[in-house]
């Protein structure tokens, strides 16, 4: 059986924050600190696994793998459970509902973080109950964690044009994939010429999304040609060549986008821009949802900003004649 230490040995991180100093021409840009969420807490890999939890966690991990959970989700849930184990000092099958509630309520976590930990406890104890390890599910009655909906934060068009005008060829393509094809950094890094499908007037790109869920996003002819031209020069057809099986890492794309975009704008603001501008232009929320790879329209709505003119027009219909 795969052991806990073997499972995580290859994914150990050394960086919590990355400080980036670049030169543009002869001008030194002010150092920026980029928070990399996937790497920010080295406890995710260094927090020990209590002996009593080792076999249950291995079995739960295998269950997640068999269910095709993304590796990032497997790693996060493994960390959450180790943290619960070390904090509560309880064995994996000893916790009662009150123990779980006390644990979730004892931390000054944001609502989103608390919701994530709750989801992990729910998943683990649902598995433990279904597998016959416990007679009742202590997580079944955990209270719902209410979170505030996110707000769209698209990069302004003026800032986007500035970035495109000053970025290098590689970074310009990355920016366009985020802004014009709604691609995340983890999707941009694995772009390949084999993913460009169709022909002139009908090009699309196959995007390898989160959770191993590919989607096909229509793209502009010029963008498609640029991607093909660059990728065909590289071994393996990778558009952004690098040292991770021939392509750049997600971390490196995050860094490059953070430097290429002005001010404090990060790469994800390009996806917010895509969602906002495509919905405002088409009013077709379902198509925007599919292109962005969201399982729910509710998630897409976070990205689709409504401007003042639209709200004012909507409000005008309420005027009493």
Q: Report the pLDDT value the prediction gives residue 231, as an integer from 0 to 100.
A: 96
Mean pLDDT of 24-44: 43
CA distances from 310 to 222, 279, 281, 313, 316 (A): 31, 12, 12, 5, 10
Range in 39-48, 99-108, 147-156, 289-298 the model is least confident about? 39-48
pLDDT at 21 over 90: no
Percent of the chain, pLDDT > 90? 63
Q: Report the pLDDT value the prediction gives residue 27, as an integer from 0 to 100.
A: 37
Gap between the Cα atoms of 238 and 192, Å rounded: 4
How many other CB atoms are found less than 10 A from the CB of residue 55? 14
| Residue 88 in tokens | 């509560």
Q: Report the pLDDT value the prediction gives residue 166, as an integer from 0 to 100.
A: 95
Helix (H, G, I), strand (E, B) or coil at 186: helix
* 69 CB-side CA count, 13 A: 17
pTM for this model (two decimals): 0.63
The predicted-structure confidence for 214-240, as pLDDT tens digits, reads as follows 999 999 999 999 999 999 999 999 999
Is 55 or 313 the better-scoring residue by pLDDT?
A: 55
Gap between the Cα atoms of 61 and 4, Å rounded: 9
User: What number of residues does the chain have?
Assistant: 321
CA distances from 271 to 46, 154, 188, 250, 266 (A): 33, 7, 12, 16, 10
Q: What is the Cα 99 distance to its own chain's centre?
A: 31
Percent of the chain, pLDDT > 70? 85
pLDDT at 158 over 60: yes
Give 17's strand partners. 35
Question: Dihedrals φ, ψ of 9, to 5°?
Answer: -65, -35
Gap between the Cα atoms of 171 and 157, Å rounded: 17
Q: What is the Cα 293 distance to its own chain's centre?
A: 11
The predicted-structure confidence for 267-282, as pLDDT tens digits, reads as follows 999 999 999 999 988 9
In which band, very low, low, confident or very high, does the pLDDT at 318 lie, cut at 50, 70 and 90? confident
CA distances from 141 to 37, 114, 130, 137 (A): 30, 15, 16, 8
Average pLDDT over all residues of the chain: 84
Range in 63-72, 142-151, 301-310 the model is least confident about? 301-310
| Residue 27 in tokens | 């001008």
| Residue 51 in tokens | 């002996």
What DSSP element (H or E) covers 38? Answer: none
In which band, very low, low, confident or very high, does the pLDDT at 312 lie, cut at 50, 70 and 90? confident
Question: Dihedrals φ, ψ of 310, to 5°?
Answer: -65, -45
The predicted-structure confidence for 236-259, as pLDDT tens digits, reads as follows 999 999 998 899 999 899 999 999
Is 281 or 10 the better-scoring residue by pLDDT?
A: 281
Contact 185, 256 (CB under 8 A): no
pLDDT at 33 over 60: no
Listing DSSP states for 48-117 in one string gives: ---HHHHHHHHHHHHHHHHTT--HHHHHHHHHHHHHHHHHH---TTT--HHHHHHHHHTS---HHHHHHH
Q: Report the pLDDT value the prediction gives residue 40, as an integer from 0 to 100.
A: 45
Q: Report the pLDDT value the prediction gives residue 61, as an integer from 0 to 100.
A: 95
């Amino acid at each position: 059986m795969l052991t806990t230490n073997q499972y995580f040995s290859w994914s150990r991180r050394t960086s919590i924050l990355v400080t980036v100093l670049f030169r543009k021409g002869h001008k030194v840009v002010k150092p920026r600190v980029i928070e990399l969420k996937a790497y920010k807490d080295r406890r995710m890999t260094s927090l020990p696994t209590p002996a009593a939890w080792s076999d249950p966690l291995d079995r739960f991990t295998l269950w997640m793998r068999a269910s095709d959970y993304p590796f990032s989700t497997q790693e996060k849930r493994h960390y959450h459970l180790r943290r619960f184990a070390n904090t509560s000092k309880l064995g994996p099958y000893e916790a009662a509902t009150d123990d779980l509630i006390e644990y979730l309520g004892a931390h000054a976590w944001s609502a989103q973080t608390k919701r994530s930990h709750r989801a992990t406890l729910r998943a683990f104890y649902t598995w433990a109950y279904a597998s016959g390890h416990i007679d009742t599910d202590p997580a079944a009655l955990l209270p719902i964690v209410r979170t505030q909906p996110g707000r769209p934060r698209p990069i302004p068009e003026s800032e986007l044009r500035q970035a495109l005008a000053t970025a290098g060829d590689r970074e310009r393509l990355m920016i366009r994939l985020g802004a014009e094809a709604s691609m995340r950094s983890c999707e941009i890094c694995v772009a390949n010429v084999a993913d460009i499908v169709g022909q002139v007037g009908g090009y699309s790109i196959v995007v390898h999304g989160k959770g191993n869920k590919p989607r096909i996003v229509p793209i502009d002819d010029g963008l498609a040609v640029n991607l093909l031209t660059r990728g065909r020069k590289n071994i393996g057809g990778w558009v952004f060549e690098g040292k991770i099986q021939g392509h750049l890492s997600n971390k490196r794309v995050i860094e490059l986008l953070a430097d290429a975009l002005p001010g404090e704008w990060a790469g994800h603001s390009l996806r917010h821009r895509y969602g906002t501008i495509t919905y405002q232009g088409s009013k077709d929320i379902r198509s925007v949802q599919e292109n962005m790879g969201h399982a729910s329209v509710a998630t897409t709505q976070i990205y689709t900003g409504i401007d003042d003119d639209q709200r004012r027009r909507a409000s005008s219909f309420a005027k009493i004649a």
